[in-house]
Amino acid sequence: MCYDIQAKLKTQLKRTRRMNQAEFIRELETELKPYITSWHHVSGFSHPNVLIYTNENPTLPSLASWGLIPHWVKNQVQANKIRNNTINARGESIFEKPSYRDAAKAKRCLISVDGFYEYHHKNGKTFPHFIHKKSEEPMTLAGLWSNWINKQTGKLLKTFTIVTVKANPLLSKIHNNPKLKEARMPLLLTNDKADEWLNVSHDKTDTNRIKALMTPSEEELIAYTVRPLRGKKAVGNKPEASKQFFYDELNELF
C-alpha cells in the first residue's frame, strides 16, 4: 500500500526541473509557497495538497488533494466517505472499478516523492519503515486524478489516488498486514515509463499498454525502521520522521 509519503517541495517540482524550465520553477515556488507544504511525513487520510503532473499538462504541476473523488459523487457527505477509500487504487482493477475506470482511461497523473512509509506487523504491533531509492533520487509514482464540483458551493476540487501493484521482494518482507491477501507497493515509474503513463491515446490498445506498465519496481531501494508515525509518540511533519530508529522487539529484516 502507500498511505504515507515524504514529498518535499523541491522533489514535487522534479519533473518541471527535468524539462529545464528554471525561470518558471522560480515563479512556481514563489506562487505556491502559501498553498503547498514540504512534507517530511504526511498521511493520505489527512487529504493533503500535493503537486501532480497530469496527462493534460505533463510538464507543469497542479495542486491536488489526496483521496480521489469521482466526478459523479453527488454531495460533500458522499465525497468525504468515498475519499478515505480511494487513497490507493489497486492497479489490476482500475479499468473496471466505478471509482477509477473513467480516470484510468482519460485522467492519469504522476506524483514525485522522496520516499514512502510502510508498516511491518509482528506480535500484534506495527513497525514503520521508510523506503527510498538507494541513489536518493526522487521517486515517480503513478496516479489517477479527477475534477469534482461541489454542487452546493460550486467549488471545483482536483483530487488524486496513488496506483499500487504487487510488491517486489523487498516490500514483500515489510508489507505483511495479516488482513490483506498479498503484499503491495506503489507503482514506481522510470522517466520513460512515466511519459508513457501520461500518454492517453484513447484507442483499443491503450488499456493493454497501461496494464503492461503495472509491474513491481526493479529499482534498487533501501528500507529501514523509523519512529512512530501515528499516535502520541509521532514525530509529525519534521525531518526526524524519516531518520532511522531501532526497535528492540524487531529483528533485522534485511
pLDDT for 106 equals: 95
Who wins on pLDDT, 202 or 135?
Answer: 135
pLDDT for 203 equals: 80
95-120 mean pLDDT = 97
Sign of torsion over alpha carbons 181, 132, 160, 216? negative
**Given pLDDT bands bounded at 50, 70 and 90, which one contains residue 100?**
very high
96-118: buried (b, 16+ CB within 10 Å) or exposed (e) per residue? eeebbeebbbebbbbbbbbbbbb
pLDDT at residue 35 greater than cutoff 70: no
> Across-strand partners of 159?
65, 146
**Given pLDDT bands bounded at 50, 70 and 90, which one contains residue 34?**
low
Within the chain, residue ranges assigned H as helices are: 9-12, 14-18, 22-32, 76-83, 101-106, 169-174, 191-198, 206-213
Q: Alpha-carbon distance 19 to 31, whole Å? A: 19
Summarised one tens digit per residue, pLDDT across range 208-241 is 999 999 999 888 999 999 999 999 999 999 999 9
99-125 mean pLDDT = 96
pLDDT for 32 equals: 66
Who wins on pLDDT, 61 or 40?
Answer: 40
pLDDT for 97 equals: 97
At residue 117, what is the residue type? Answer: Y
Q: Are 54 and 158 in contact (CB under 8 A)?
A: no
**Given pLDDT bands bounded at 50, 70 and 90, which one contains residue 254?**
low
pLDDT for 220 equals: 92
Q: How many residues are listed for the chain in this entry?
A: 254
pLDDT for 16 equals: 78
Q: In the numeric block, which cell numbers belong to residue 233? A: 509518540
The 221-225 sheet, strands edge to edge:
39-43, 4-7, 115-122, 125-133, 221-225
pLDDT for 20 equals: 60
**Given pLDDT bands bounded at 50, 70 and 90, which one contains residue 60?**
confident
User: Model pTM?
Assistant: 0.93
**What are the chain's domains?**
4-115+139-167+186-219 (3.90.1680.10)
pLDDT for 27 equals: 67
Who wins on pLDDT, 130 or 253?
Answer: 130
Summarised one tens digit per residue, pLDDT across range 13-30 is 888 777 666 666 666 666
- Of 6-10, 53-57, 104-108, 200-204, the one with minimum mean pLDDT is 200-204
**Given pLDDT bands bounded at 50, 70 and 90, which one contains residue 81?**
very high
Q: Are 178 and 170 in contact (CB under 8 A)?
A: no
Tell how strand 139-149 and strand 125-133 pair up: unpaired
